[in-house]
């Protein structure tokens, strides 16, 4: 060992977030004998969104950092809304994010028999009773936060009667809504949730795993903590909205006398210009506004994957936003910047003209062409270079030319000179128009001595344009995406009668046909690159050899911040 005075200066370690601090303190005190066991407990009633990614990173991350384990458990107590399609998509998304539950895949429905026995135990201990009030009366009988509730007339049912009724509920003798099983806690408890909460309800519906075995289903509250307990979870990490349910979580563990994990609540991830609610995302899918759960505009993991985001960029977002006790909204730019930074380092540069304007170079010999060297990635020398064809006819971006340019427009105009990326200086001499007065092509001359992009006489140009050879370019279908909503907070509507749907961005998808350098003809689904000056793109799964489809992942800069500044 090094003597202390020779040790290297201690790096200032990042302070632990409060959840990790609790785990560390527990490890120090030996509360769980050094064991750390977490779980990620999705309900399979929709696809995962990026908010779930935060919970996944936290639960799997804390387990990994502490030599512990993290389970995947489906909280499948709501048979009407749940489906195997969701189970499979959730598994795929977690794996894609880079996490592994190994052999610890569980379903709350696997515990239904045990939960039923525990319910009987509470009945025998006079801690649960069958209540036969209609649901509305159960609700109104709860009182309000300032007024105590009233006891159900069935609260005093005998243990024998309760057991009999509960068995017959299971046997299917009653209709939905006829009876429920309630915990017998305290109808004037200051925590409303503890005023005799419902444990079981009759639901005559098939379950995606247990089929028609059950016609009574336990509530979330009577399932979640016990499932944690069965699995030996130490730290049951969930979002802040569960804070008020913690007393009930604790009550069931205590009165069932079972292993009692610690519930810890943290803040949800929210992003501007989008929504994080499975229910609403399902409405968007069903309405047809988006093409599906994996529409590249969706904040779902599958949508972001199809949009071209990497697992790393999403994990980095989750690490950046941090874990606290305060709900906040994170600017979408924080997510976008993650992928910008990553792809700036790793993505090939390519030239693609989104809105082509034809250029004829009148002093370039007809019938000839040449190949020029173009660097693949200025940030990464190992990415090498490629050849791009150059000839007499090119395409440039229509917006890079103005016939009558204002003072601050530095790109191409009559008698102006610009640099063509990796090629030559180009000067515009003439504009050709159709009968409607629209520019159809421009005639230019190039300076053969400026090959590679520099003039030997040292003269300068103010702009460098991307371009493609008209003869050799390949057409691409390009999808340009914008925010799903036009407002930062989609719930914030103009007037009270409005709804979040009013804020949907009707222009969130633009499809166009672009012209690309030939190297992109063979790009396969999932390939990411930068279209110079236009953003980062990925080849969509819809792409075929007949129609190549590229999605824009993100622009090179935050266009919305610039638009806001201008306002």
Q: Which of 195, 278, 392, 416 is catalytic?
A: 278
Residue 191: contacted member of Mg ion, ligand ATP, none (CB under 5 to 8 Å, by partner type): none
Extract the runs of DSSP E, i.e. beta strands, from 78-175.
105-107, 128-131
- 8-state DSSP, 294: T
240 binds ligand ATP (CB under 6 A): no
Question: Does 278 qualify as catalytic in the annotation?
Answer: yes
Burial classification of residue 1, based on how many CB atoms lie within 10 Å of its CB (0-12 exposed, 13-18 middle, 19 or more buried) = exposed
As measured in angstroms, the least distance from the Cβ of 45 to Mg ion is 7
**Piece in contact with ligand ATP (CB under 6 A), picked from 205-213, 270-278, 356-364, 442-450:** 270-278
**Piece in contact with ligand ATP (CB under 6 A), picked from 51-59, 181-189, 363-371, 500-508:** 51-59
Q: Which of 43, 120, 206, 472 is catalytic?
A: 43
Contact 551, 538 (CB under 8 A): yes
Question: Does 43 qualify as catalytic in the annotation?
Answer: yes
Question: Long-range contacts for 64-67 (Cβ within 8 Å, ≥24 apart)?
Answer: 65/20, 66/23, 66/27, 66/36, 67/36
**Piece in contact with Mg ion (CB under 5 A), picked from 40-48, 198-206, 248-256, 478-486:** 40-48
330 binds ligand ATP (CB under 6 A): no
| CA gap 408, 401 in Å, rounded | 13
- Interior CA angle at 24 toward 19 and 27, to 5°? 130
Between 326 and 408, CB nearer to ligand ATP: 326
Q: Which of 114, 132, 239, 487 binds ligand ATP (CB under 6 A)?
A: 239
Per rule CB under 6 A, count of chain residues that contact ligand ATP: 15
| CA gap 299, 485 in Å, rounded | 11
19 binds ligand ATP (CB under 6 A): no
As measured in angstroms, the least distance from the Cβ of 276 to ligand ATP is 4
- Residues numbered 190 to 229 that lie near Mg ion (CB under 5 A) are none
| Residue 520, CA distances (Å) to 391, 446, 472 in order | 18, 26, 11
As measured in angstroms, the least distance from the Cβ of 55 to ligand ATP is 4
Secondary structure class of 373 (helix, strand, coil): strand
Between 290 and 476, CB nearer to ligand ATP: 290
Question: Does 280 qualify as catalytic in the annotation?
Answer: no
62 binds ligand ATP (CB under 6 A): no
- Interior CA angle at 186 toward 181 and 189, to 5°? 125
As measured in angstroms, the least distance from the Cβ of 239 to ligand ATP is 3
Sheet of 549-554: strand order equals: 348-350, 528-531, 535-539, 549-554, 474-481, 509-516, 352-353
Tokens of 218: 């336990």
| CA gap 455, 549 in Å, rounded | 38
210 binds ligand ATP (CB under 6 A): no
What is the chain's length? Answer: 567
Using only C-alpha atoms, the chain has a radius of gyration, in whole angstroms, of 31
Between 43 and 489, CB nearer to ligand ATP: 43
Contact 295, 28 (CB under 8 A): no
**Piece in contact with Mg ion (CB under 5 A), picked from 36-44, 221-229, 375-383, 536-544:** 36-44
Burial classification of residue 432, based on how many CB atoms lie within 10 Å of its CB (0-12 exposed, 13-18 middle, 19 or more buried) = exposed
**Piece in contact with ligand ATP (CB under 6 A), picked from 92-100, 187-195, 276-284, 362-370:** 276-284
As measured in angstroms, the least distance from the Cβ of 177 to ligand ATP is 24
Residue 350: contacted member of Mg ion, ligand ATP, none (CB under 5 to 8 Å, by partner type): none
| CA gap 104, 422 in Å, rounded | 54
Residue 52: contacted member of Mg ion, ligand ATP, none (CB under 5 to 8 Å, by partner type): ligand ATP
Q: Which of 170, 268, 358, 533 is catalytic?
A: 268
As measured in angstroms, the least distance from the Cβ of 270 to Mg ion is 16
Q: Could you list the residues that contact ligand ATP (CB under 6 A)?
A: 41-43, 51-52, 54-55, 238-239, 268-269, 276-279
Binding site for Mg ion (CB under 5 A): 43
Please identify every residue annotated as catalytic.
Answer: 43, 268, 278
């Amino acid at each position: 060992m090094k003597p202390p005075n020779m040790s290297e200066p201690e790096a200032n370690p990042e302070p632990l977030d409060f959840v990790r601090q609790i785990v560390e303190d527990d490890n120090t005190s030996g509360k769980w004998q050094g064991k750390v066991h977490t779980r990620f407990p999705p309900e399979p009633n929709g696809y995962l969104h990026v908010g779930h990614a935060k919970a996944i990173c936290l639960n799997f991350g804390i387990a990994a950092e502490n030599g512990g384990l993290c389970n995947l458990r489906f909280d499948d107590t709501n048979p009407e809304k749940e489906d195997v399609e969701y189970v499979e998509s959730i598994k795929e998304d977690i794996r894609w994010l880079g996490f592994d539950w190994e052999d610890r895949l569980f379903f709350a429905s696997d515990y239904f028999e045990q939960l039923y026995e525990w319910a009987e135990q509470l009945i025998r201990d006079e801690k649960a009773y069958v209540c036969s009030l209609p649901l509305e009366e159960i609700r109104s009988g709860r009182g309000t936060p300032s007024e105590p509730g009233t006891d159900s007339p069935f609260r005093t049912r005998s243990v024998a009667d309760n057991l009999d009724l509960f068995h017959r509920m299971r046997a299917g003798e009653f209709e939905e809504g006829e009876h429920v099983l309630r915990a017998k806690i305290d109808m004037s408890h200051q925590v409303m949730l503890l005023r005799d909460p419902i444990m079981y309800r009759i639901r005559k519906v098939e379950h995606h795993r247990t089929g028609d075995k059950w016609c009574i289903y336990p509530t979330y509250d009577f399932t979640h903590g016990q499932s944690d307990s069965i699995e030996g979870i130490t730290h049951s990490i969930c979002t802040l909205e569960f804070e008020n349910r913690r007393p009930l979580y604790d009550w069931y563990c205590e009165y069932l006398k079972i292993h009692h994990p610690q519930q810890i609540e943290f803040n949800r991830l929210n992003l501007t210009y989008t929504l994080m609610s499975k229910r609403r995302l399902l409405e968007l899918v069903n309405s047809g506004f988006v093409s599906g759960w994996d529409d590249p505009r969706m904040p779902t993991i599958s949508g972001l994957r199809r949009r071209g985001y990497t697992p790393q960029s999403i994990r980095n977002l989750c690490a950046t936003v941090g874990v606290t006790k305060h709900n906040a909204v994170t600017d979408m730019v924080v997510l976008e910047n993650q992928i910008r930074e990553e792809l700036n380092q790793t993505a090939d540069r390519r030239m693609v003209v989104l809105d082509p304007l034809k250029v004829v170079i009148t002093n370039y010999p007809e019938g000839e062409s040449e190949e020029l060297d173009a660097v693949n990635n200025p940030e990464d020398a190992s990415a090498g270079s490629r050849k791009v064809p150059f000839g007499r006819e090119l395409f440039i971006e229509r917006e890079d030319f103005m016939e009558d340019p204002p003072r601050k427009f530095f790109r191409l105009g009559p008698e102006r000179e610009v640099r063509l990326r990796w090629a030559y200086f180009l000067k515009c001499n003439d504009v050709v128009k159709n009968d409607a007065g629209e520019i159809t092509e421009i005639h230019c001359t190039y300076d053969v001595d400026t090959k590679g992009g520099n003039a030997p006489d040292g003269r300068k140009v103010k702009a460098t344009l991307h371009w493609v050879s008209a003869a050799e370019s390949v057409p691409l279908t390009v999808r340009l995406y914008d925010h799903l909503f036009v407002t930062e907070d989609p719930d914030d509507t103009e007037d009270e009668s409005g709804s979040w749907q009013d804020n949907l961005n009707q222009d969130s998808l633009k499809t166009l046909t672009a012209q690309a350098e030939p190297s992109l003809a063979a790009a396969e689904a999932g390939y990411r690159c930068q279209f110079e000056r236009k953003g980062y793109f990925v080849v969509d799964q819809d792409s075929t050899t007949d129609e190549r489809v590229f999605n824009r992942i993100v622009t090179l800069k935050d266009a919305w911040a610039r638009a806001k500044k201008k306002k």
